[in-house]
Amino acid sequence: MESDLGLWVIPLAILGGAIRVSTPFLFVSLGEVLTERSGRINLGLEGTLVFGAMAGYASAYLTGSPWLGVAAAAMAGAFFGLIHGLICSLPRVNDIAVGIAMMILGMGLAFYFGKPYVQPVAPDLPSINFGWWSDVPQVKAALRVNVLFLIGAVLAFAMWWMLRTTKIGLTLRVVGDSTDAARAMGLRPALIRTMATAAGGAFAGVGGAYLSLFYPGSWNEGISSGQGLMAVALVIFARWNPIACFGAALLFGGTGALGPTLQSVGISEGYYLFFAAPYVLTLGVLIATSSPTRAMTGAPGELSITK
């Protein structure tokens, strides 16, 4: 069977990989869109992702339900976001630096509490077989789509709609574009930003739960290697647009799947270099989309990284 497919194995595996690997990118970047649209940047989502992975795994193991794991990860993520938001509400505190500190704290706490859960096996999140029509195992594997991926895709469109048309979305955008205008409207920018950061953290937590409960599907200290950070960069690439985040997450997922895919077909030369591909892509995208002179299109006016 494998010989029939020939080299088609590679794009098929990358497609499957893109769907599998992109979900954490998608959730973290959607969360970061919410936060950044309110005018703050949370670089700590890498730590939130790792802690969410641990909290989700531990809860799923203890309760036997992967969905309770996802809920626990979302709550833990919201808590981390809340802390970040509250600290950044103090005057003259730098949100980028606080993000770095939250990254260290999140990873530290995750490794601290996660030690006993490295060995046990937690139940996986369910997935849906869209490849039922095919007898080719590779096609079946590529089209086994996790429910969280579908939820994330729906959420991307829902968030786009929310930011565009609802009162909440408008409030968020006003606060993100001009603190003064928001104050003049009687809004409370610090409170709204804190809530947006907490909601963003919840998304990142769910992304972490996906890592430990579906793919790769176990908890260990190396579970995330910068996915949270890459997702933050991806938001800039996606120009703070949730639907563009969905596309960008698929692109990054595909790149992330490159190394394992090539290894699975027997190309192991330069494995570590392929492993670095997502980072190189992220950096390349950042270089291509940044500009030293003009503000970026679509950038929230109060965002510190684009000012």
Partner 1 sequence: MTDHSAPAPLVAAAPNGMLRILTRRSEAVILPLAALLVGFGVFSIFLLLQGKSPIEFFSLTYKAGFGTAFSWQNTLSRTAPLLFAALCVALPARLGLVVIGGEGAIVLGGVAAGAMGALLATSPGAMALPIMAASAMIIGGLWIGAVGALRYVRGVNETIASLLLAYIAIALMNHLVEGPLRDPASLNKPSTAPLPDTLRVGDLPGWEVHWGLAFGLLCCVLAWVLIEKTTWGFAARIAGGNMRAAQVQGLPVGWLIIGFTALGGALAGLAGFFEVAAVHGSANASLATGYGYTGILIAFLARHNPLAIIPVAILLAGFEASSGLIQRRMGLPDATTLVLQGFVFISILMSDTLYGRFKMFAPERWRSA
Question: From the CB of 26, what's the least distance to partner 1, in Å?
Answer: 19
Taking CB under 8 A as the criterion, the residue among 76, 232, 245, 251 binding partner 1 is: 232
Question: From the CB of 206, what's the least distance to partner 1, in Å?
Answer: 22
Taking CB under 8 A as the criterion, the residue among 10, 62, 68, 100 binding partner 1 is: 100
CB of 93 or CB of 168, closer to partner 1:
93
Taking CB under 8 A as the criterion, the residue among 108, 120, 137, 298 binding partner 1 is: 108
Tokens standing for residue 87: 């600290």
Tokens standing for residue 280: 């190189």
CB of 157 or CB of 271, closer to partner 1:
271
**How many residues form the binding site for partner 1 (CB under 8 A)?**
48
Question: From the CB of 63, what's the least distance to partner 1, in Å?
Answer: 22
CB atoms within 10 A of CB 41: 24
- Regarding 150 and contact with partner 1 (CB under 8 A), the answer is no
Question: From the CB of 16, what's the least distance to partner 1, in Å?
Answer: 23
- Regarding 189 and contact with partner 1 (CB under 8 A), the answer is no
- Regarding 233 and contact with partner 1 (CB under 8 A), the answer is yes
- Regarding 229 and contact with partner 1 (CB under 8 A), the answer is yes
**In terms of Cα–Cα distance, which of 287, 30, 15 is closest to 151?**
30
- Regarding 280 and contact with partner 1 (CB under 8 A), the answer is yes
- Regarding 97 and contact with partner 1 (CB under 8 A), the answer is yes
- Regarding 67 and contact with partner 1 (CB under 8 A), the answer is no
- Regarding 267 and contact with partner 1 (CB under 8 A), the answer is no
CA distance 107 to 97: 16
Question: From the CB of 5, what's the least distance to partner 1, in Å?
Answer: 29
Interface contacts to partner 1, rule CB under 8 A: 43, 83, 87, 90-94, 96-98, 100-102, 104-112, 115, 225-226, 229-230, 232-233, 236, 270-273, 275-276, 279-280, 282-283, 286-287, 290-293, 305
